[in-house]
Amino acid sequence: MAIQAPAKIQILAPEILSEIFQYCFPEDDYRRSTRRLDHAPLLLGRVCSRWRTVSLSTPDLWCNFSIGQYPPVFVADCRKDLDATRVLIARSASRPLSIFIQYDRNYSGRDLLPEIFDMIVSQSWRWKEIDMTVPIDFANILLAPFHAGTLPQLVNFDSVILGEGSASGHSIHLSSAPRLQRFHHDTYAEGVHIDFGGPIHVIRSVDVILFDNPRVSLSDLFTCLTHCPLLTKLDITIAESSRNSLPRELPPTIQLSHLRELSLWLFVGVDPCHLFDRLFLSALISLDLQMHVDDDDDTYTDWPHLKSMLSNSRPPLQTLLLHCVPISEATLIECLSYTPCLISFTIGEMKCTDTTLERLTMDNTDTSRSFCPCLEEVEFGSESSFSELAMIAMILSRRSSANPTGTTTGNSLQFVNCGPSVTRSIRSNPDIAKCLEAGLKLNPY
């Protein structure tokens, strides 16, 4: 009887088989759960004894895992997470760890979670990527390494803290993670402080979403801008605080030549005017600026600092969102003159009139008089007031189907949000009706 030759994969060297195994992981973090026996690496050890031996001797297979799950888990699941975490930490040897942690506020097994988290924190010197969603009760455990300075390999950190409460005295020191590239922190916890001080950071993305008395000040923002020169994205909330004062002497220019996306949400009493004047953002493509100005404060009649930044930087800005920024219409129009690449423009709680529409109306005979030729989306706030004729003229000048030549000098306008009264009145216009049939979207807020 002929002897069947073994399959080629059975005669591969262990080193090659180990390399192949590392390409067997699912892409979704939640599918790398310690409870999933139908996915690598646990599945590999169930094929045959040789595969089990090779998989157990390959630390790289065990350094990326997920614990917890949605919906709420049972006590037995938490106990499995505890045992599995202990095993995975041992099998991964000294390899950098990538861990996905997700526990809802309505979890079971409350008494076991501190032990699980303490075990993970004990390996913080190996953290490479951490993505965690945990109840506020345990936030201080998992964030402690940022205070202890034990994160030499951390590259990406993403945290969502569930529930409301106090984390008074809790600080996150980014200097504890010298290799950090991305930092996302989302919480309702009170008393959280993000410390951007220390040496110059290599971080590229900072996303800090804090509610209910966040403890990030203008001084912190200044430190962030001057200590993170490689930033490509910054999304941050600045709260009213006694620490909102800036240094007496500011550098004449604060240059962030890599910053492409900037989003600032400023509470009442927070004014980054002198800081904004000095920003040089030559690569900026998206700006979202939200200010909360006290209605009784008469000092805010115009805020020219946005104009200064745009004039100095001349960025290739494509998206501009302004909410409650106290600038005059003349200042706004000058700002638009510095944004020839603008595609999407939103202005809320600021008054615009036909004067703005006239500057946004394309003039095919004199393109130098036309602002924002690439504009595709425009949204005006409820305080704006326009005439029917001015709005129709602006829209038709930016729609090739409505132009006698069949072309426009820039992109075709796709979306307009201009309030209910203007929307109702211009819909009956025959030319606007044709634009609507051709795909134009006209919304009344």
The more confidently predicted of residues 130 and 37 is: 130
Task: Determine if residue 367 is left, alpha or beta; phi over 0 gives left, psi from -120 to 50 gives alpha, anything else beta.
Answer: alpha
Q: Which of 29-33, 40-44, 265-269 has the lowest mean pLDDT?
A: 29-33
Q: What is the pLDDT of residue 1?
A: 44
Q: What is the pLDDT of residue 310?
A: 97
**Is 2 part of any domain?**
no
The answer to whether residue 152 scores a pLDDT higher than 80 is: yes
**Is 119 part of any domain?**
yes
Residue range(s) defining the domain that contains residue 126: 65-243+252-294+302-398
**Is 320 part of any domain?**
yes
**Is 425 part of any domain?**
no
Can you tell me the mean pLDDT for 177-198? 88
**Is 29 part of any domain?**
no
Can you tell me the mean pLDDT for 221-243? 87
Can you tell me the mean pLDDT for 265-270? 82
Can you tell me the mean pLDDT for 338-359? 93
Q: Which of 18-27, 84-93, 178-187, 391-400 has the lowest mean pLDDT?
A: 18-27
Q: For residue 402, report the phi and psi dihedrals to the nearest 5 degrees.
A: -100, -5
Q: What is the CATH number of the domain that holds 196?
A: 3.80.10
Q: What is the pLDDT of residue 378?
A: 96
Query: What's the pLDDT band for 212 if we cut at 50, 70, 90?
Result: low
Q: CB under 8 Å to 173, separation ≥6 — which residues?
A: 146, 147, 149, 195, 197, 198
- 411: tokens are 């992109």
Q: What is the pLDDT of residue 267?
A: 82
- CA neighbours within 13 Å on the CB side: how many for 124? 18
What DSSP string runs through 173-237? EGGG-TT--EEEEEE--BT-EEE--SSPP---EEEEEE-SS----HHHHHHHHHH-TT-SEEEEE
The answer to whether residue 436 scores a pLDDT higher than 80 is: yes
Tokens 């490479």 identify what position? 128
Q: What is the pLDDT of residue 301?
A: 76
Q: What is the pLDDT of residue 5?
A: 45
Q: What are the distances in angstroms from CA 58 to CA 41, 51, 64, 414?
A: 10, 11, 12, 54
Q: What is the pLDDT of residue 31?
A: 47
For the chain, the maximum distance between any two Cα atoms, rounded to a whole number of angstroms, is 99
The answer to whether residue 138 scores a pLDDT higher than 60 is: yes
| Number of domains forming the structure of the chain | 1
The answer to whether residue 147 scores a pLDDT higher than 90 is: no
The more confidently predicted of residues 316 and 420 is: 316
**Is 99 part of any domain?**
yes
Can you tell me the mean pLDDT for 159-165? 83
Q: What is the pLDDT of residue 6?
A: 53
The more confidently predicted of residues 367 and 305 is: 305
The answer to whether residue 391 scores a pLDDT higher than 60 is: yes
Mean of the per-residue pLDDT values of the chain: 84
The answer to whether residue 203 scores a pLDDT higher than 50 is: yes
Tokens 């009887």 identify what position? 1
Can you tell me the mean pLDDT for 238-249? 69
Number of Cβ atoms within 10 Å of the Cβ of 16? 11
The answer to whether residue 279 scores a pLDDT higher than 80 is: yes
**Is 9 part of any domain?**
no
Query: What's the pLDDT band for 321 if we cut at 50, 70, 90?
Result: very high
Per-residue pLDDT of 328-344, as tens digits, reads 999 999 999 999 999 99
Query: What's the pLDDT band for 136 if we cut at 50, 70, 90?
Result: confident
Q: What is the pLDDT of residue 251?
A: 92
The more confidently predicted of residues 390 and 74 is: 390
**Is 429 part of any domain?**
no
